[in-house]
Amino acid sequence: MKTRTMVSAAVSACVVLAVCACGPETAKEGAAAKPSQPSASTSAKGPSAVPSASAVTEQPSVAPTGNRPAPMTKERAIQRYEQYLHGLGREDIDTVCEVAGPGAKKAEDQGFGPCTSTYVIVFQMISPEQKEALQTATVDPRRVVMRTPEKIEMPLEAVRSSATFTESDLGSYTLEYLKNDYYITDGQ
Percent helix, strand, coil in the chain (nearest 5)? 50, 15, 35
Among 176, 171, 161, 143, smallest CA distance to 77 is for 176
Give the separation between CA 160 and CA 138, rounded to whole angstroms. 5
pLDDT digits (tens, 9 = 90+) for 59-71: 444 445 557 899 9
pTM of the prediction? 0.65
Is 31 contained in some domain?
no
Domain coverage including residue 144: 74-187
Q: Say if 165 falls within a structural domain.
A: yes
CATH number of the domain where residue 144 is located: 3.10.450
Q: Which residue has the higher pLDDT, 51 or 80?
A: 80
Partner residues linked to 151 by β-bridges: 148, 176
pLDDT of residue 27: 37
Is residue 26 in some structural domain? Answer: no
Does 84 fall in a domain?
yes
Task: Report angle CA 109, 114, 115 to the nearest 5 degrees.
Answer: 110
Q: What single string gives the DSSP state of each residue in 7-64?
A: HHHHHHHHHHHHHHHH-HHHHHHHHHHSPPPPPHHHHTT---SSPPHHHHHPPPP-SP
Q: Are 134 and 85 in contact (CB under 8 A)?
A: yes
Q: Answer yes or no: is 53 within a domain.
A: no
Summary mean pLDDT of the chain: 74
Residue 61: inside a domain: no
Most confident of the following: 67-76, 115-124, 133-142, 179-188: 133-142
Count of domains observed in the chain: 1
φ/ψ bin of 40: left (φ > 0), alpha (ψ from -120 to 50), beta (otherwise): alpha
- Residue 45 covered by a domain: no
Does the structure show a pLDDT above 70 at 84? Answer: yes
Describe the crossing of helices 24-33 and 2-22 by its angle, rounded to 10 degrees.
90
